[in-house]
Amino acid sequence: MPKVVDHDERRREIAAATWRAIDELGVDGTTMRAIAERAGCTIGRLNHYFDSREDMLVAALRYAHVRAGARMLTAIEGRSSSDALRAVLLEALPLDDERYTEWKVWLTFWAQALNTESLRNEHRQRYLEWHLLVSTLVADAAPSLSKVAVQQAADSLLATVDGLGIHVLMSPAAGAKRQAIRTIDTALATVLG
């Protein structure tokens, strides 16, 4: 067994570079050359660790997913359920550079998913987890709600977050961000009473 390298680590590096390329250039501009440039290697290495460009795109999506998931857990830690719910929803919005970039990646993949079944599955997977997290928090924060009402509230909150995210993405002014926070708060007030 010669020349041993951390396979997973390399793949993660490449996924991160792909992620950066998508952020800077859009998915169209994310060519093998662009990724290699950002990963600080040659195309040879990319092809060594991934079978195709599409596999690298999926890896970038998963990478963004893992990042976001970790942030959500941090946001929940040590908060009451209603505080945690608000924190999680706000954490999901593109309010700073990191999350703005993350949203660019999401949006890019949504569009790409329209014509790629594997990406659509990837998205549905993420959405289920995300829905489960929010509905759990809603149930904790408003124990008097029926199961159906909890689901309904979660659906409504998730839709609001996604819509606001897109809006901020297209008009990333400070005003739009403040407005988004206000909208989340009124939505929460409606749900939690």
Partner DNA sequence: TCTGTTACGCAACATCTGATACGTAACGTG
Partner DNA sequence: CACGTTACGTATCAGATGTTGCGTAACAGA
Q: Note whether 15 and 56 are within 8 A (CB).
A: yes
- As a whole number of angstroms, the distance between CA 76 and CA 88 comes to 7
Mark out the alpha helices in the chain (DSSP H runs).
Answer: 7-29, 32-39, 43-49, 53-76, 81-91, 97-113, 117-141, 147-170, 174-192
CB-wise, 57 or 89, nearer to DNA? 57
Here's the x/- map for a copy of itself, 109-148, by CB under 8 A: it reads as -xxxxxx----x--xx--x---------------------
Nearer to a copy of itself, 41 or 149 (CB): 149
- DSSP class of residue 77? T
Q: Which is nearer to DNA, 54 or 185 (CB)?
A: 54
Query: With CB under 8 A, what is the number of residues at the site for a copy of itself?
Result: 40
State phi, psi for 42 to the nearest 5 degrees. -105, 170
Answer for which of 42, 52, 80, 171 binds a copy of itself (CB under 8 A) is 171
- What's the min distance (Å) between Cβ of 8 and a copy of itself? 29
Q: Are 49 and 7 in contact (CB under 8 A)?
A: yes
Q: Which residues bind a copy of itself (CB under 8 A)?
A: 25-29, 104, 107-108, 110-115, 120, 123-124, 127, 152, 155-156, 158-164, 166-167, 169-171, 179-180, 182-183, 186-187, 190
